[in-house]
């Protein structure tokens, strides 16, 4: 026998008949199950909506973070590109300086252009990071190469400066050249004779300076040259200072370019106070005029390369 439940609805107002209806047990059970399912679905919807809202917030935060990261990648890419330009400029300056000094090009100090790894990806972050990675490798390789080049350049310039200091390049005594290098009529002997130096007139006691760094190998009387100082420099170069009135250095003494070494006189076979100045290469006289007013660049181009 099926069980039934009777429900009675009694109105509050008097005079109205109560409403009575009967429901079988299975109907009530179905209503209960439906209500439970509805509540479960409602709860699930609320939880799902909350989760989706949380995911949406996190997605928005991730998207914002990605934009910031992409912005930093773009910033670093721009900076590394600027640094590549700077390194390229340094390389050009390096080349120009070497050309001025007469040195070989610096290409041997730089690596072959690095090949960029192609990255197939639709992710702009991965592509951007790949670009930054390449630029950093480029900068590292070229920075190391530039350092090697500058180390070589510095060592070369130090050697060049040392050789320049030991090469005649300045006037030992400022003045007009009264007699040049080569054949001439001797003013006292009256015969054509080879003049192995240049004569610079001055007053008795005018200061005479070493035209290059070196070692004094003689400071004594030397016949027609009178009081004479001879300085040994390098690569077989010597300078001779004749007709002196006074020695200010001694044999064996090291002297620097521009150092005071003697005073002008008129000793030996001389027509008046002057400096007879010679430059000898391999103990043979060469034209001293080629060794006046030199700077390190003209020395390197005109003198050093001919030795």
Domain ranges of the chain: 4-68, 70-165, 182-306
pTM of structure: 0.63
Residue 194 makes CB contacts below 8 A (sequence gap 6+) with 182, 183
Q: What is the pLDDT of residue 74?
A: 72
Task: Report pLDDT for 262.
Answer: 97
pLDDT for residue 217: 97
Residue 307 has a pLDDT of 56
Please report which residue ranges of 102-220 form alpha helices under DSSP H. Answer: 124-165
For 63-101, the pLDDT digits (tens) are: 666 666 666 667 777 777 777 787 778 888 888 888 877
Q: What distance lies between CA 5 and its chain's CA centroid?
A: 99
pLDDT recorded at residue 214: 96
* Regions of the chain short of the pLDDT cut 50: none
Tell me what pLDDT residue 81 has.
76
Rg, the chain, Cα only: 50
Rounded Cα distance, 219 and 251, in Å: 6
Residue bearing tokens 């590109």: 81
Show the tokens assigned to 101: 């000094």
Question: Helices 25-101 and 124-165 sit at what angle, rounded to 10 degrees?
Answer: 20
**pLDDT value at position 146?**
79
Class of the CATH-defined domain 182-306? mainly beta
């Amino acid at each position: 026998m099926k069980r039934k439940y009777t429900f009675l609805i009694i109105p509050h107002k008097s005079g109205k008949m109560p409403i009575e209806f009967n429901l079988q047990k299975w109907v009530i059970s179905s209503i209960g199950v439906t209500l439970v399912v509805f509540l479960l679905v409602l709860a699930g919807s609320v939880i799902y909506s909350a989760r989706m809202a949380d995911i949406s917030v996190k997605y928005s935060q991730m998207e914002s973070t990605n934009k910031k990261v992409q912005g930093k990648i773009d910033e670093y890419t721009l900076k590394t590109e600027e640094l590549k330009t700077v390194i390229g400029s340094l390389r050009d300056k390096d080349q120009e300086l070497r050309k001025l000094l007469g040195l070989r090009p610096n290409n041997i100090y730089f690596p072959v252009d690095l090949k960029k790894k192609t990255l197939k990806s639709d992710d702009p972050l991965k592509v951007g990071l790949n670009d930054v990675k390449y630029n950093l490798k480029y900068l590292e390789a070229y920075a190391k190469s530039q350092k090697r080049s500058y180390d070589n350049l510095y060592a070369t310039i130090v050697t060049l400066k040392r050789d320049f200091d030991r090469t005649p390049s300045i006037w030992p005594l400022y003045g007009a050249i009264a007699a040049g290098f080569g054949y001439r009529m001797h003013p006292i002997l009256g015969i054509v004779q080879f003049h192995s130096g240049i004569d610079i007139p001055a007053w008795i006691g005018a200061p005479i300076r070493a035209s290059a760094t070196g070692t004094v190998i003689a400071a004594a009387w030397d016949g027609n040259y009178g009081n004479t100082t001879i300085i040994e420099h390098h690569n077989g170069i010597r300078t001779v200072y004749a007709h002196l009135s006074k020695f200010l250095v001694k044999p064996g003494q090291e002297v620097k370019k521009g150092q005071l070494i003697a005073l002008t006189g008129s000793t030996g076979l001389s027509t008046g106070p002057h400096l007879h100045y010679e430059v000898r290469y391999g103990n043979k006289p060469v034209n001293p005029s080629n060794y006046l007013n030199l700077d390190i660049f003209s020395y390197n181009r005109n003198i050093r390369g001919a030795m």
